[in-house]
Amino acid sequence: MIIKEGFKLRTVLGEYIVVAEGAEQMKFKKILNLNASAAYLWQQILGKEFTVGDLADLLVGQYCIDRNRALEDAAAIAETWKSQGVLAE
């Protein structure tokens, strides 16, 4: 997976949001709100190919959580990003 070109993480009034920029993302009419953990992951993998396992490794390293919990959380985040149309496989 990889984050599609044209999606940018912004901070607005202390909230993390993903917005679409550029002509290739004209159809994206939403704002994707991220919590701090999801924003951390976004920043770490932007421009890189990644797997759910990669996301889980980042969560374990940053938050010292159990690997199984990290895998569940990473899978949920990836699924949300896929359903919102910001990931390419």
pLDDT in tens, 72-89: 999 999 999 999 889 998
Considering the four listed CATH numbers 1.10.10.1150, 3.90.1150.10, 1.20.1250.20, 3.30.70.580, the one that applies to the domain covering 2-88 is 1.10.10.1150
User: What pLDDT score does 66 carry?
Assistant: 96
pTM, entire model? 0.90
Taking the domains of the chain in order of start, what are their residue ranges? 2-88
CA distances from 24 to 21, 35, 40 (A): 8, 26, 25
Paired with 12 in beta bridges are 15
Tokens, residue 88: 């390419």
Q: Is the pLDDT of residue 24 over 60?
A: no
Q: Is the pLDDT of residue 22 over 90?
A: no
Instruction: For residues 64-74, give the mean pLDDT.
Output: 97
- DSSP string of 14-79, one letter each residue: TEEEEEE-SGGGTT----EEE-HHHHHHHHHHTTS---HHHHHHHHHHHH---HHHHHHHHHHHHH
